[in-house]
């Protein structure tokens, strides 16, 4: 068992990541997963010596639970200022939920190191698109038909829940392709989609973990080797408790600053925020 003093550096890293993730969640409509997943991944793999396959699975599931209070705080801030696209959310809701269920079940049984590559690759593409085309007008004049929108919603939520990133990261880039959509409202909408992704995604994870734990020997609560203490199934609860309070505090501040910045600046900040993370994850996975 690690002594408390030896865990202090890890706790400090988690607290700082919570502050940063909360601010980013409010500013860019993200749940904080682009910060949580890499931080958790490197702590689990480097500090606790977990295998890369198991570390990424634990990181993505723990990230989803951590994002519940983060996205909730961010959502409240955006909704209060009518900073979201209500009609789009109504059309997308059933397909978002379907994508969450499909993506979570798939990653639960087939998760592994490939998630690191997928995570980094998708984030790198999204970041480059927003940085280099921050002032570009949308390519398309309007959103596609309901069928293609349903496919977009399903893919966004399915990939997001597998990667533990909430939904905002994959919502902003595609919606930026369409003219007539207010960038700031797109960010607010992405924040709400993040909550739609992480809340049911976490509930599904817990349900499957409970089923798995019931099949394990007595007093064994996770099948992951070298997982931190108080890890249940695929969620590390101490990590959530270290990060979530700080993220809740800083999310409203990010949302406030979002309303003061020009749209193209928000896009560039979004891209810069994720590009370094994606490169680091990509190099680690390779």
Digit-coded pLDDT (tens) for 187-216: 888 888 988 888 999 999 899 888 888 887
Digit-coded pLDDT (tens) for 118-162: 767 766 776 776 677 656 566 777 788 899 999 999 989 998 888
Confidence band, pLDDT 50/70/90 cuts, at residue 44: very high
CA distances from 42 to 97, 98, 119, 201 (A): 30, 30, 14, 22
Helix axes 52-80, 237-258, angle to 10 degrees: 40
The residues near 147 (Cβ < 8 Å, ≥ 6 apart) are: none
Cα distance between residue 270 and residue 250, in whole Å: 17
Kindly report the pTM of this predicted structure.
0.79
Cα distance between residue 14 and residue 239, in whole Å: 7
Contact of 53 with 71, CB cutoff 8 Å: no
Helix axes 146-163, 168-175, angle to 10 degrees: 150
């Amino acid at each position: 068992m690690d002594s408390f003093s030896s865990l202090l550096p890890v706790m400090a890293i988690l607290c700082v990541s919570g502050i940063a993730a909360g601010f980013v969640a409010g500013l860019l409509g993200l749940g904080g997963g682009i910060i949580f997943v890499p931080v958790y991944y490197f702590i689990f793999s480097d500090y606790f010596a977990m295998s890369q396959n198991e570390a990424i699975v634990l990181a993505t599931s723990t990230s989803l639970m951590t994002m519940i209070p983060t996205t909730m705080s961010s959502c409240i801030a955006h909704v209060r200022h009518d900073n979201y696209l209500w009609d789009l959310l109504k059309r997308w809701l059933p397909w978002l939920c379907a994508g969450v269920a499909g993506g979570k079940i798939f990653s639960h049984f087939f998760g592994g190191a490939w998630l690191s590559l997928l995570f980094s690759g998708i984030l790198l593409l999204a970041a480059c698109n927003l940085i280099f085309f921050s002032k570009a007008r949308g390519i398309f004049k309007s959103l596609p038909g309901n069928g293609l929108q349903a496919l977009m919603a399903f893919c966004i939520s399915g990939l997001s829940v597998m990667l533990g990133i909430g939904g905002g990261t994959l919502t902003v880039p595609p919606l930026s392709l369409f003219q007539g959509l207010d960038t700031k409202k797109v960010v607010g909408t992405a924040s709400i989609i993040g909550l739609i992704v992480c809340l049911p995604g976490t509930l599904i994870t817990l349900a499957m973990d409970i089923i798995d734990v019931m099949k394990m020997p007595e007093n064994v609560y996770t099948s992951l080797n070298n997982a931190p203490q108080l890890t249940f199934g695929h969620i590390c609860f101490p990590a959530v408790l270290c990060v979530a309070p700080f993220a809740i505090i800083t999310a409203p501040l990010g949302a406030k600053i979002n309303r003061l910045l020009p749209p193209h600046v928000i896009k560039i900040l979004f891209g810069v925020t994720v590009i370094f993370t994606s490169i680091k994850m990509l190099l680690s996975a390779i």
